[in-house]
Chains A and B, each alone.
Chain A
Amino acid sequence: MNELLSQNKSIYLQVSEMIETDILRGILLEEERVPSTNELAKLYTINPATAAKGINLLVDEGILYKKRGIGMFVAEGAKEHIIEKRRDAFYENYVKGLLEEAKSLGISSEQLVEMIRAHE
């Protein structure tokens, strides 16, 4: 959660991604309470409505859930869920850009595959 906010993406998306990353890294554990909207607002110096939007996104996806009167908690299976989600988005987020850049440089798919193999 202590990453820095950038200007390159909506703030609420950055808030939700940082929480996800913390769940992936085991900084936040399943069934553990996550910081409140107001705690996040203070940490990042952002409007609480924006922090709430980021949190609500994760609630809608079932990654966090609300315990009435206590706060937000990491759902059981959240980590697996995030891994699946990010795998699904991997092509769109990473491969697509890689292929576009390769194409404009005239690097063929075979050469790309070769580079990946050589890296291993």
Chain B
Amino acid sequence: MSQLVCENISKQYKKKVVLHDIDLTIEQGKIYGLVGRNGAGKTTLLSILTAQNPATSGTVTYDGMPVWENQKALDHLCFSRELNTLSVLGPNTIKVKEYLQMARTYYPNWDREMEQRLVAQFDLNPKKKISKLSKGMLSMVTIVVALASKADITILDEPVAGLDVVARDDFYHLLLEEHEATGRTFIVSTHIIEEAANVFEEVIFLKDGEILLKEDTQELLERAAHVSGLAEEVDAACEGLEIHHVEQMGRSKGVTVLLAPGEQIADGYDVTVQPVSLQNLFVALCGREA
């Protein structure tokens, strides 16, 4: 089985450390969600995984081969970056058609038929300049590149940014369909956690340049809970457990707990125990007071 393995990756821009010593293994055939706050290092990590940006230290390998300057490994990887109306030289004046042509030359397994089908489905005008596209249309172009690349491991950076709710739903369906048909691996970074949570087999939380957790999404949610009630009762029920995001108001208290295997919230206390959504859990673990 092909794996993308990243070992001890660190990245420093001048004095600012963006990634600290990251170890990460991406397995073939899963859909991963990458979640982190703005500035957590998501795009930097994704660009290092695909050798578009050199790491300060550490190695990335695909199937045991280093990915850096290694076309043989890179042929299996696609990183569909966020597109901008501006390039470093000013307005991005190349046309959608030309952008897709470049992608076609770059990715060896490019699916022309799929490219055309998606362009039609998204109602994209190939003759339009990138600089004239709306936010949603920019995202659609990145989705076309990602899906049509047919790369074994395909990374999408914020693919749903600016898309309306129907287009987002269409995207999740396209992703699941392609995953079913081909078994390709996808890594999707997103800020819209809630609606994507059920699509991700595994979720990766990135916080301040470190991997906070990488886990089966459903298993993670099963071991998370919100406990609330009279402060003393809550404290007693949660004694010894991993507690996050404590909120207190008068005598009332609410906490988010993450249970380790074999642990449980103590019985016999008058508390309310509720399931936690992935978004709530993310805020509890990565929010300001976490």
Which residues of A are at the interface with B, using a C-beta cutoff of 8 A?
5, 7-12, 38, 41-42, 44-50, 53
The answer to whether B275 and A47 touch across the interface, beta carbons within 8 angstroms, is no
Bound complex: CA A41 to CA B172 (Å) = 11
Bound complex: CA A18 to CA B222 (Å) = 19
Bound complex: CA A7 to CA B199 (Å) = 14
- Contact flags (1/0) for B186-217 with A, using CB distance below 8 Å? 00000000100011110000000000000001
Which residues of B are at the interface with A, using a C-beta cutoff of 8 A?
30-31, 169, 172-173, 176-177, 179-180, 194, 198-201, 217-218, 221-222, 274-275, 277
The answer to whether B172 and A7 touch across the interface, beta carbons within 8 angstroms, is no
Bound complex: CA A11 to CA B198 (Å) = 8
Closest Cβ of chain B: how far from A39's Cβ, in Å? 10
Q: Name the residue of chain B whose CB is nearest to the CB of A53.
A: B218
The answer to whether B176 and A41 touch across the interface, beta carbons within 8 angstroms, is yes
Given A10-B218, A11-B218, A12-B218, A47:B173 Cβ within 8 A: no
The answer to whether A48 and B277 touch across the interface, beta carbons within 8 angstroms, is no
SS of A interface (majority): helix
Given A46-B198, A47-B201, A38:B180 Cβ within 8 A: yes
List the A side residues contacting B199 at CB < 8 Å.
Answer: 45-47
- Across the interface, A48 reaches (CB within 8 A) one of B176, B194, B218, namely B176
Closest Cβ of chain A: how far from B78's Cβ, in Å? 20
The answer to whether A45 and B169 touch across the interface, beta carbons within 8 angstroms, is yes
Closest Cβ of chain A: how far from B201's Cβ, in Å? 5
The answer to whether A7 and B275 touch across the interface, beta carbons within 8 angstroms, is yes
The answer to whether A9 and B177 touch across the interface, beta carbons within 8 angstroms, is no
The answer to whether A8 and B218 touch across the interface, beta carbons within 8 angstroms, is no
Closest Cβ of chain A: how far from B230's Cβ, in Å? 13
The answer to whether B218 and A50 touch across the interface, beta carbons within 8 angstroms, is yes
Q: Name the residue of chain A whose CB is nearest to the CB of B221.
A: A10
Bound complex: CA A46 to CA B217 (Å) = 11
- Across the interface, B277 reaches (CB within 8 A) one of A7, A12, A41, namely A7
Q: Name the residue of chain B whose CB is nearest to the CB of A8.
A: B275
Bound complex: CA A53 to CA B177 (Å) = 19
The answer to whether A5 and B201 touch across the interface, beta carbons within 8 angstroms, is no
Q: Name the residue of chain B whose CB is nearest to the CB of A37.
A: B180
